[in-house]
Amino acid sequence: MPAGAPPGWWGAAWRQFRLERRMFWRNPSAAFFGVLLPLLLLAIFGAVFSSRQADLDVIVPGIAGMSVMSATFTSLAYNLTTLRERGILKRLRGTPLPPSAYLAGLAGNALANAVIQLVLVIVAGKLVFGVAWPRDWGALVVFAAAGVACFSALGVALSHAIPNPESAPAYVNAVFLPQILIAGVFYDDERAPRMIRDIAEVLPLKHLIDGLSGAIVHGNGLAAHSTAFLVLMAWTAVGAILAVRGFSWEARRAT
């Protein structure tokens, strides 16, 4: 064990987390889609609406919310499907590494990516497009944590429905893309047709964006968006139940 490493379970989880971070940065495509893509989208839409501050105040929280979903939901759904179908999860049970510590390291990596993306979007929004610094940091932290918990649970739950790594992009994008299109990531959702708004109200991303917008732009805090917080918690509970009940260490097809 390296000097200064935490003992026991925490040490194993910490070492796995560090390994996941190294592998992430050594994968150029993962680094691009995990870090640079949200900034690229912000640059494109920010340039389009650069003369309209009201639209910029919508786009920055929208892309921040999308980044949290991408870093957790998309990443975990892809990774767990691949690990399960390649037999890695099954082999883990025969190693000294506690499986829960391995999964904690995997989740910690997704959390780190979500934090990095959120910080980059907020800083770029301020320095490049003149969006104010978050007006309520406490609400920002609460909604960011709620979003991470919600989409992490849903990502794990979705991985159970994906039969193989080849079909993972289709399954994930079938959930991810409609949400970012109707939840107000790139436009003010109040301008959308009533039916689209009603659908978005049921889904979690719209409520994460509302909470982040309140914290970043309006400064009206958690109390003003308590409904959004409760919806995120409800989706977190649903995702956690499905994630636990459907979890399998075994591949679903012969390898």
For the chain, give the DSSP string. --TTPPPHHHHHHHHHHHHHHHHHHT-HHHHIIIIIHHHHHHHHHHHHTTT-HHHHHHHHHHHHHHHHHIIIIIHHHHHHHHHHHTTHHHHHTTSSS-HHHHHHHHHHHHHHHHHHHHHHHHHHHHHHH-PPPPS-HHHHHHHHHHHHHHHHHHHHHHHHH--SGGGHHHHHHHHHHHHHHHTTSSS-GGGS-HHHHHHHHHSHHHHHHHHHHIIIII--TTGGGHHHHHHHHHHHHHHHHHHHHH--SS-SS--
Note the pLDDT of residue 253: 63
More confident residue, 229 or 125: 229
Alpha carbon 65 to its chain's center: 8
Locus of tokens 């490493």? 5
Task: Give the integer Cα–Cα distance in Å for 135 and 128.
Answer: 18
For all residues of the chain together, what is the average pLDDT? 86
> Has residue 25 got a pLDDT over 60?
yes
Instruction: Dig out the tokens for 143 from the structure.
Output: 């909604």
Task: Give the integer Cα–Cα distance in Å for 235 and 113.
Answer: 21
Note the pLDDT of residue 254: 47
Longest dimension (CA), the chain: 59
Task: Give the integer Cα–Cα distance in Å for 70 and 148.
Answer: 10
- Which among 158, 27, 10, 23 has a CA at the least distance from the CA of 84? 158
Per-residue model confidence as pLDDT tens digits over 43-89 = 888 777 766 777 778 888 899 999 999 999 998 999 899 989 988 88
Q: Other C-beta atoms within 10 Å of 175: how many? A: 18
> Has residue 155 got a pLDDT over 50?
yes
Task: Give the integer Cα–Cα distance in Å for 73 and 52.
Answer: 31
Per-residue model confidence as pLDDT tens digits over 189-239 = 778 888 988 999 999 999 999 999 999 888 787 888 899 999 999 999 999
> Has residue 144 got a pLDDT over 90?
yes
- Which among 66, 48, 60 has a CA at the least distance from the CA of 217? 60
Instruction: Dig out the tokens for 199 from the structure.
Output: 């659908």
pTM, 2 dp = 0.87
Q: What is the mean pLDDT of residues 121-127?
A: 88
More confident residue, 223 or 156: 156
More confident residue, 130 or 169: 169
Domain ranges of the chain: 8-246
> Has residue 1 got a pLDDT over 70?
no
Is residue 85 a contact partner of residue 237, using CB atoms and an 8 Å limit? no
End-to-end CA distance of the chain: 34
> Quick one: pLDDT band at residue 3, thresholds 50, 70, 90?
very low
User: What is the SS3 assignment for 101-152?
Assistant: HHHHHHHHHHHHHHHHHHHHHHHHHHHHHCCCCCCCHHHHHHHHHHHHHHHH
More confident residue, 24 or 144: 144
